[in-house]
Amino acid sequence: MPNTAIDRKIDRSQMQVSDEIAIEITGMNKWFGTFHVLRDIDLVVQRGERIVIAGPSGSGKSTLIRCINRLEEHQTGRIVVDGTELTSDLKNIDKVRSEVGMVFQHFNLFPHLTILENCTLAPIWVRKTPKKEAEAIAMQYLEKVRIPEQAHKFPGQLSGGQQQRVAIARSLCMRPRIMLFDEPTSALDPEMIKEVLDTMIELAQEGMTMLVVTHEMGFAQAVANRVIFMDQGQIVEQNEPREFFNNPKSERTKLFLSQILGH
């Protein structure tokens, strides 16, 4: 069994999956040049789901979630996010991006702006929020991720874990309905992983729809309601966590689990 210390009591009262469909992907294929990176992806995500996507490197998991907010373009198939289909229509892309937040492996905070300015940039320029209101919202989320006192520092002055929490707050300031996480703790030193995972767990407890690409299986066990295993650009297996970890059905899944859970 995975050994990350997620031992606090998880409040599951809000973590309910509704029937409303948040993301629907049908028959999606993507190529990088001639390399077939995503093959025939079918996926339905309902509102409130917390999905962990796992798999070996190169399996296309990051590419998949990057297609959901159009950081990557798919060639065939359909992606519908919150009722809006993702095409080359810029208006659709803008609409989707304002509903979907993303947290990156390398944080990608804007180094020339303060923490507060990082968080207020998008609300001011995209949602046209007045500055005072944007700052109030930002402070609210900074308190939520527990670093309000750093608001006037610059990203370079913060630790990795603090930066990633700011990145989460920055995304939340746009009040997204779906949050995507692309290996959020892979670039962190071990002692900082917990603070970020705790923040993500709190988010889950509030009912946020989350897709998380990660190797942190403890997190999957604690909050995920579905684990998806991808390999070679396709979805190989998916199940709820307990079944997934105790009873993997596919050979590839068994191999993968033995590799990452072995140490």
Partner 1 sequence: MALASDMPKAGFRPSMLLYDTRYRSLTIQVVVLMLFMAGVAWLVDNTVRNLAALGKDFNYGFLWQRSGYDISQRLIEYSSDSTHGRAMLVGLLNTFLVSAIGCVVATVIGVIAGVLRLSKSWIVARLMTLYVEVFRNIPLLMWILLFYAVVTEAMPPPNAFRGDDAASSMILFDSVAITNRYTAVPDLLFSRSLGSLELGYVSLNINLVLLIAAVVGGVLANRALLRRATRIQEATGARPTTWWQSLALLFGPTLGVLAGLGFHLGYPELKGFNFVGGINVSNSLMTLAAALAIYTGAFIAEFVRAGILSVSQGQTEAAYALGLRPGRTMSLVILPQALRVIIPPMISTYLNITKNSSLAIAVGYLDLRGTLGGITLNQTGRELEAMLLMMLIYLAISLAISAVMNVYNASVKLKER
Partner 2 sequence: MNTRPGAGQPYVRDQMLAEKAPPILAAGPLKWARENLFAGPVNSALTVLGVLVVLWGVQAAYPWLRHSVWTASSLGECRAIIAASWGEGASGACWAIINERWTQFIYGFYPSHLYWRPVLALGLLFFALAPLLFGETVRIRMAVLGVVTLLLVAALVQLGTGSGLSDLALLVALVAALWVMWKTPSRMLWFAVLYPFLAFWLMWGGSIWLPLVALAGLGVGWLALRATLGFGGLVAIVAAIVAPLIWWLFVAGHVFAWLDASLPVAIEAVRSDKFGGFVLSLTIGISGIAMSLPLGILLALGRRSDMFLVKTLSVGFIEFIRGVPLIALLFTASLLLNYFLPPGTNFDIILRVVIMVTLFAAAYIAEVVRGGLAALPRGQFEAADALGMDYWQAQRLIVLPQALKISIPGIVSTFIGLFKDTTLVVFVGLLDPLKGITDAVRAAPDWKGVYWEPYLFVGAIFFIFNFSMSRYSMYLERKLKTDHS
**Count of beta carbons in the 10 Å neighbourhood of residue 177:** 15
CB under 5 to 8 A by kind: which of partner 1, partner 2, none does 257 bind? Answer: none
SS3 68: helix
Is residue 239 a contact residue for partner 2 (CB under 8 A)? Answer: yes
First to last CA, the chain: 10
Interface segment toward partner 2; rule CB under 8 A; list 176-184, 186-194, 199-207, 221-229? 221-229
23 vs 109, beta carbon nearer partner 2:
23
Report which residue type is found at 78: R
Is residue 102 a contact residue for partner 2 (CB under 8 A)? Answer: no
User: Cα–Cα distance between 257 and 187 in angstroms, integer?
Assistant: 21
CB under 5 to 8 A by kind: which of partner 1, partner 2, none does 111 bind? Answer: partner 1
Length of the chain: 263
Closest approach of partner 1 to the CB of residue 182, in Å:
10
75 vs 186, beta carbon nearer partner 2:
75
Closest approach of partner 2 to the CB of residue 225, in Å:
8
Residue 40 C-beta-side C-alpha neighbours within 13 Å: 1
Closest approach of partner 1 to the CB of residue 61, in Å:
16
Interface segment toward partner 2; rule CB under 8 A; list 58-66, 149-157, 186-194, 227-235? 227-235
- By DSSP bridging, strand 226-231 and strand 234-239 are antiparallel
Closest approach of partner 2 to the CB of residue 233, in Å:
8
The structure tokens listed for 90 are: 């810029």
Contact 55, 256 (CB under 8 A): yes
**188 closest CA partner among 259, 105, 116, 258:** 105
* Interface positions with partner 2 (CB under 8 A): 17, 21, 29, 31, 33-36, 39-40, 42-46, 49, 75-76, 225-226, 228, 231-240, 243, 249-250, 253
